[in-house]
Amino acid sequence: MSTVTGVRGGVGESVLRPDARLKVRGDFAYASDLRWDGMVWGATLRSPHPSARVVRLDATRALRLPGVVAVLTHEDVPGRPRYGMKVADQPVLAADLVRYQGEPVALVAADHPETARRALRLIDVRYAPLPALTDPEQALTAAGPLVHERRVDGGTGNVVRHVRIRHGDLPSARAQADVVVSGTYEVGMQDQAFLGPEAGLAIPAEDGGVDVYVSTQWLHDDRHQMCAALGLPPDKVRLTLSGVGGAFGGREDVSVQIHAALLALHTGRPVKMSYHREESFFGHVHRHPAKMWFEHGATRDGRLLFVKARLLFDGGAYTSTSQVVIANGSYFAAGAYEVPHAEIDGFAVFTNNPPCGAMRGFGAVQSCYGVESNLDRLARELAMDPVDLRLRNAMTTGTVLPTGQAVDGPAPAAELLRRLRARPLPPAPEGPFGRPGGLNNTSHGEGVRRGVGYAIGVKAIGFSGGVDDRSVARVRLSLVNGEPVAEVHTAAAECGQGIVTVQAQIVRTELGVDRVVVLPADTRVGDAGSASASRITWMSGGAVRGACRALRERIAGLAGDGVTGRDQAPGDATGPGGGGAAGPGEGDLVGVLSVHGPLASEYTYAHRRTFPVDPERGQGDAHIAFAFAAHRAVVDVDTGLGLVKVVELATAQDVGKAMNPLAVAGQIEGGSAQGLGLALMEELRVEEGRVRNPSFTDYLIPTIADMPSVPVDLLELPHPDAPYGLNGVGEPPTLSSTPAIVNALRDATGLELPRVPVRPTDLLDPERG
């Protein structure tokens, strides 16, 4: 079916975001800005210990404080006492045990936020500290205490999941290899560091239910977990998306949702909860720290024969999405390369460290850093150009992954690398601001060495492994002052990625209507799934397109029955917004809507079926699509001071179809910035289970002064299964940006640099002390 043409602001155009000016001016309403008449403030008491038994909890003094409305403990949870995205193993409020520093123990509602905070200090909790298991290797070997004495998922020990992949004949490949290299690589705990802290407003309803306005990534899954904890049916728990100040995976898990609703239902008053920055570091999951061992074997001319990998991810105290994250990391541990033989073991384990879960890249970030680092090591051993090695082994359409699945969509790994290598290198920066140390003018050019590094990453798009992934959209057409207006309604969470803009673009393209209203995302419409896995434009975009096309067919049928506009004959769609016989013209719309009134259509979009991998050998067609991104980093390093200036971070990425080119470039720049942060500065430091830097003073993220030029080269190779041929965009840049920068640092210094983030002390020239 062709699309309607002639209306500005459609698919493929750089359309201005409707919230752009509001955000720039500081006028946009985020979840933390919510207000309601008569509301009280909620606050959370959190454990100071990573592992302890709760001996006594007495809220008497807190309840006596003027202004305190309620204090709730685990005894006040009316429904299921535990929640979780994949496994319901996390207590709503801790009962007898706490398993990580920051675990919620009690809730307070008060008439002022400072009163609520004072009340928290008056709750008397006595703990008996227990030995904390904080070493993932110890957790893997079962040499320490069990984090969960009884696992609700039926498992035993501290291993959340072991992913085992066996492909080809590794012993035979090893015997044929001329060169074998191995290395151990580590990734620190990265935080999503979104600028808008967790916040929400819960309002008790007359029907005994609750209305919740919250910043989240998945409204319907939140509702599912809330209903179980609150003991309420779905029609009594209604969620509406409020302004989201960034997410990057950190809002997939529940934060304030259940707690605010509990307080609202208990007090009968609206309750607002908003974390301060330090609490936010304890209130959401983080990127899994990882320790990885890679071994590659190749022929003398650089043909890869095998990869053997062992991945160990620290999942922290609860499951969250660790089962899926370690799977994703393991599936792509061979990287964007054709490797005929593979033996991969991925482990995620429980510890008493902070819980870890989804973050942009979802496991593939860690394994990409490992495989790309080891590829550069192999290139040095072969005395081969690192790009030539990658080109020789680059994945193509038809490549069979270690999981046995053949890549049936575009696989332009080699083309992306060639484009980057063909780019002219940037000139040497002039002036002190262009040197390592930047604005501080600490480096004066002595001992500054330049390095260039490349990396490429591949990741699956969308939910995988047999998940029945669907998304629902409603589109409604009506006349307003004689002009057709479209309303589109989905539960797709706008986290800053631009799904609101894209939905309107799709409606304009499909229906030829200028005026499009995107209704707030809420649970009154069917599930859209999570705004994660780089899936939301594919899935919700497909649902909106399907609803529009159903409307077009209906309107065309009504128009063909003789109901047309005053200026057009039946079937003549050559007027404004016309698109040939495939779509209605404006006259058709006006005529049909004038006679029949508003028309609406609901559509459920589902991608093709996927399958779980078999647990013994890890084989199966688990994925619907793959996305590729590559980076070339140019760095200057002052080896005397250990300071780095990333001069340029050029990137090339296949996006299938750039639905909104400017927004696509913004997503790629943002993902590259987070990759730079992981490479050079971002790490949540955890010592013996205690977080040492829960603030933006001590947890460093890249600023505008740290960011280099990021030239973006978009490749548009339509994916055959996707709406408009689009592909996921937001996650792939985080895969290859980190290893490209570190490979450039290795090129400049000759150092191993096996761990990220790379610290200044890691870069000091040993000969200079």
The verdict on 436 and 501 lying in the same domain is: no
- Tokens representing 359 are 């973050």
Residue 571 has a pLDDT of: 30
pLDDT digits (tens, 9 = 90+) for 386-416: 999 999 999 999 999 999 999 999 999 999 9
Cα–Cα dist 413/49, whole Å: 47
**What CA–CA distances, in Å, run from 472 to 243, 536, 547, 611, 719?**
21, 11, 9, 22, 21
Would you place residue 430 in the very low, low, confident or very high pLDDT band (cuts 50, 70, 90)? confident
3-state secondary structure 55-67: EEEECHHHHHCCC
Q: What is the pLDDT averaged over residues 575-600?
A: 68
* Residue 591 and residue 627 in one domain: no
Same domain flag for 700 and 556: no
> Using 50, 70 and 90 to split pLDDT, how confident is the model at 144?
confident
How much is the pTM?
0.95
Q: What is the pLDDT of residues 195-208, one digit of tens each?
A: 999 999 999 999 99
Can you give the pLDDT at residue 6? 54
**Domain count across the chain:** 3
Read off the pLDDT of each residue in 556-562 and give the average, rounded to a whole number: 82
Alpha-carbon gap, residue 361 to 35, rounded angstroms: 35
Q: What is the rounded distance in angstroms from the CA atom of residue 411 to the CA atom of residue 625?
A: 10
Cβ contact 488:546 at 8 Å: no
Is residue 139 domain-resident? Answer: no
Residue 563 lies in a domain: yes
Average pLDDT on 563-573 reads 34
pLDDT at position 769 over 70: no
Q: How confident is the model at residue 562 (pLDDT cuts 50, 70, 90)?
A: low
Residue range 278-328, pLDDT digits in tens: 999 999 999 999 999 999 999 999 999 999 999 999 999 999 999 999 999
Residue 4 has pLDDT above 60, yes or no: no
Are 649 and 751 in a shared domain? Answer: yes
User: For all residues of the chain together, what is the average pLDDT?
Assistant: 94
State whether 578 and 677 are in the same domain. Answer: no
Confidence of residue 578 (pLDDT cuts 50, 70, 90): very low
- 125: β partners: 57
Tell me if residue 459 falls in helix, strand or coil.
Answer: strand
626 and 731 fall within a common domain: yes
CATH number for position 270: 3.90.1170.50
Please state, in angstroms and as integers, the Cα–Cα distance from residue 151 to each residue in 88, 157, 163, 307, 483, following that order.
10, 8, 19, 33, 59
Question: Which H helix or E strand runs over 643?
Answer: strand 643-654
The answer as to whether 138 is a domain residue is no
How does residue 92 score in pLDDT terms, banded at 50, 70 and 90?
very high
Q: What is the mean pLDDT of residues 629-657?
A: 97
Task: Specify which residues 184 forms β-bridges with.
Answer: 293
- pLDDT band for position 561 (50/70/90)? confident
Can you state the angle between helices 364-382 and 386-393, rounded to 10 degrees? 110
CATH number (domain holding residue 564)? 3.30.365.10
CB atoms within 10 A of CB 574: 12
Side-chain-side CA neighbours of 642 within 13 Å: the count stands at 14
Q: Which of 246, 274, 302 is where one domain is finished?
A: 274
- List 454's β-bridge partners, or say none: 632
Q: Do 435 and 455 belong to one domain?
A: yes
- pLDDT of amino acid 394: 98
- pLDDT, one tens digit per residue, over 461-497 is 999 999 989 999 999 999 999 999 999 999 999 999 9
**DSSP H helix total and E strand total for the chain:** 17, 28
SS3 content of the chain, % helix, strand, coil (to 5): 30, 25, 45
Q: Which residue has the tokens 């936010």?
A: 280
Kindly report whether the peptide bond that precedes residue 615 is cis, defined as omega within 30 degrees of 0. Answer: no
Q: Is 281 among the domain residues?
A: no
Structural domain contains residue 349: yes
Q: What is the largest CA-CA distance in the chain?
A: 88
Share of the chain above pLDDT 90, in %: 91
In this predicted structure, what is the pLDDT of residue 449? Answer: 95
The model's pLDDT over 659-671, given as tens digits with 9 standing for 90+, comes to 999 999 999 999 9
Is residue 626 located within the same domain as residue 583?
no
- In this structure, are 253 and 302 located in the same domain? no
Q: Can you tell me the distance from the alpha carbon of 335 to that of 367, in angstroms, rounded to the nearest whole number?
A: 8
Task: Indicate if the pLDDT at residue 612 is higher than 50.
Answer: yes
CA–CA separation, 442 vs 291, rounded Å? 34
**Does 234 reside within a domain?**
yes
Asked if pLDDT for residue 577 goes beyond 60, the answer is no
State residue 758's pLDDT score: 98
- Please tell me the distance from the alpha carbon of residue 288 to that of residue 317, in angstroms, as a whole number: 12
At residue 16, the 3 state secondary structure works out as: coil
Per-residue model confidence (pLDDT) at position 289: 98
Q: Is the pLDDT of residue 570 over 60?
A: no
Same domain, 224 and 302: no
In a domain, 167, yes or no: no
Position 489 scores a pLDDT of: 98
Crossing angle of helices 364-382 and 732-749, rounded to 10°: 30
Measured CA to CA, the distance from residue 560 to residue 585 in angstroms comes to 12
Q: Quick one: how far is CA 308 from the chain centroid?
A: 27
Written as six digits, the tokens of 634 are 């140019």
Identify the pLDDT of residue 433: 73
Q: Residue 711 is encoded by which pair of tokens?
A: 């030239």
**Model pLDDT, residue 431:** 72
- Sequence-distant (6+) residues with CB within 8 A of 3 are 10, 11, 509, 510, 579, 582, 583
Establish if 156 belongs to a structural domain.
no
Least Cα distance to 511 among 585, 565, 580 occurs for 585
Lowest mean pLDDT among 181-185, 488-492, 590-594: 590-594
pLDDT of residue 563: 47
- For residues 223 and 239, give the distance between their C-alpha atoms in angstroms, rounded to a whole number: 7
Name the residue among 90, 41, 47, 85 with its Cα closest to residue 67. Answer: 41
Distance CA 328, CA 365 (A): 9
Q: Which of 189, 212, 353 is nearest to 286 (CA)?
A: 189
- Structure confidence at residue 586 (pLDDT): 63
The span from the CA of 576 to the CA of 5, in Å, is 9
Residues 451 and 330 in one domain: yes
Q: Provide CB contacts within 8 A for 380, sequence distance 6+.
A: none
Pair (334, 428) in one structural domain: yes
Structure tokens at 732: 């792939």
**One-letter amino acid of 645:** K
50 C-beta neighbours (distance < 10 Å), count: 28
pLDDT of residue 499: 98
Quick check: 375 pLDDT over 60? yes
SS (H, E, C) 546-600: HHHHHHHHHHHHHHHCCCCCCCCCCCCCCCCCCECECCCCHHHHHHHHHHHCCEE
Q: Is the dihedral of CA 686, 344, 86, 461 positive or negative?
A: positive
Q: Return the DSSP state at 612.
A: P
pLDDT at 580 over 50: no
Higher pLDDT, 109 or 446: 109
For 36, the 3-state DSSP assignment is coil
Last residue of a domain, one of 606, 628, 649: 606
The domain boundary, picked from 571, 590, 606, lies at: 606
Structure tokens at 319: 């499951």
- State how far Cα 454 lies from the chain centre: 23
Boundaries of domain holding 64: 34-130+198-274
